Copies of this chain bind each other. A is one copy, B any other.
Amino acid sequence: MANVIDEIRAANRSFMDLFKQADAAGVAALYTHDARLLPPDSPMMTGTDAIRSFWQGAMNMGIREASLETVAVEGGDSLAYEIGTYTLTIQPEGGQKKTAAGKYVVVWKSEGGKWKLHVDIWNSSGT
Measuring CB to CB, which residues of chain A are less than 8 angstroms from any residue of chain B? 36, 38-44, 71-72, 74-75, 79, 81, 83, 103-105, 107, 119, 121-127
Q: Are A40 and B38 in contact (CB under 8 A)?
A: no
Copies in the complex: 2
Is the Cβ of A79 less than 8 Å from the Cβ of B83?
Answer: no
Given contacts A44-B83, A75-B79, A83-B44, whether A105 and B121 have CB atoms under 8 Å apart is yes
Q: Which residue from chain B places its CB closest to the CB of A44 in the assembled complex?
A: B103
Given contacts A39-B123, A79-B81, 7 further A-B pairs with CB under 8 A are A40-B40, A40-B124, A43-B126, A43-B127, A75-B79, A104-B121, A107-B107
A42 CA to B123 CA, complexed, in Å: 9
Most chain B beta-carbon neighbours within 10 Å: one of A36, A43, A79, A127: A79
